[in-house]
Amino acid sequence: MKKMSFVLAAAGLMTLAACNKPAENAAENAADNVEAAAENLSDVAENISENATDATTNAVEATANAIDNVAANTANAM
């Protein structure tokens, strides 16, 4: 009877231990962290791309304005 009680107690404890799987929780947390980091990197890349596009557009507009100013000044000088 003592052996049977010991086996049942051990089985119960193993069942309780299986309910809270720290390794599984840690793996889930790690996966969530990797996913969040990937999303953050994606956002950073998008921001860099948008900023580069804006800077290029501004440079082209500034160049066009400078050309217009040179043409206007040349026409006025004649």
Diameter of the chain by CA atoms? Answer: 117
Per-residue pLDDT, 55: 96
Q: What is the 3 state secondary structure string of 27-61?
A: HHHHHHHHHHHHHHHHHHHHHHHHHHHHHHHHHHH
Question: What is residue 20's three-state secondary structure?
Answer: coil
Q: DSSP letter at 21? A: -
- Domains of the chain, by residue range, sit at 2-77
Q: What helix, strand, coil percent values describe the chain, rounded to 5?
A: 95, 0, 5
For 1-20, the pLDDT digits (tens) are 667 676 667 666 666 566 66
Categorize the per-residue pLDDT at 74 as very low, low, confident or very high, splitting at 50, 70 and 90.
Answer: confident
Categorize the per-residue pLDDT at 73 as very low, low, confident or very high, splitting at 50, 70 and 90.
Answer: confident
Per-residue pLDDT, 37: 92
For 17-58, the pLDDT digits (tens) are 666 677 777 888 899 999 999 989 999 999 999 999 999 999
